[in-house]
Structure 1
Amino acid sequence: MTEHTNVGIDIAKETFDVFISPDGIFLHLDNTPQGHQLLLDALSSRTVTRIVMEATGRYHNLLAATLELAGLPVAVVNPAQVKHFARALGTLFKTDLN
């Protein structure tokens, strides 16, 4: 049976954080073409079910396009909708350091 992989990405201007589930792998990568390639390499041996990232102005555009061009299922979501969803679940909290 193939194990499905879900990926969450928190993206900023210079870096992005990735959590790969169910493996529990956390990556902190540069938001550059080289960092994008490192993510593609990390995902290449997995059956990726979905990748989710918040729309962050323009910072998510290149990474989302890179993942889509690689044939991966990417969802760019509205941050306000994520906040309301988390609030509805009772799990709203910020983990950003800044």
Structure 2
Amino acid sequence: MPELGNAGRGEIAALAGVAPYDDDSGKYHGRRRIQGGRERLRKSLFMGAFTATRHNPDLASFYARLRQNGKDHLCAVIAVARKLIVLANTVLSRKTEWTPQYQQK
């Protein structure tokens, strides 16, 4: 993905195919869906996000918080995938290392 590190977080999520799009019209508020983007990248991000929900303490706590707030499993995993691509974009644009918020005791 050559745009990684040079695009904004919304644009990078849309290019990866994990940006939520609304289905609203008037008083009707439909479910948000992901669409478009690069299919192979989206599938790879999904698998990475699924693994991160179990093995990365920061992303696992993010996933757990979403589930406690009533989000479906698939919706929460897609949110983690979006967070992964946004984190990768931020790390590359700032030219820094990723520092986890979770501190082992």
Q: TM-score, normalised by structure 1?
A: 0.26
More helix by share: 2
More strand by share: 1
Q: TM-score, normalised by structure 2?
A: 0.25
Bigger Rg over Cα = 2
Q: Which has the higher contact order (CA 8 A, sep 6+)?
A: 2
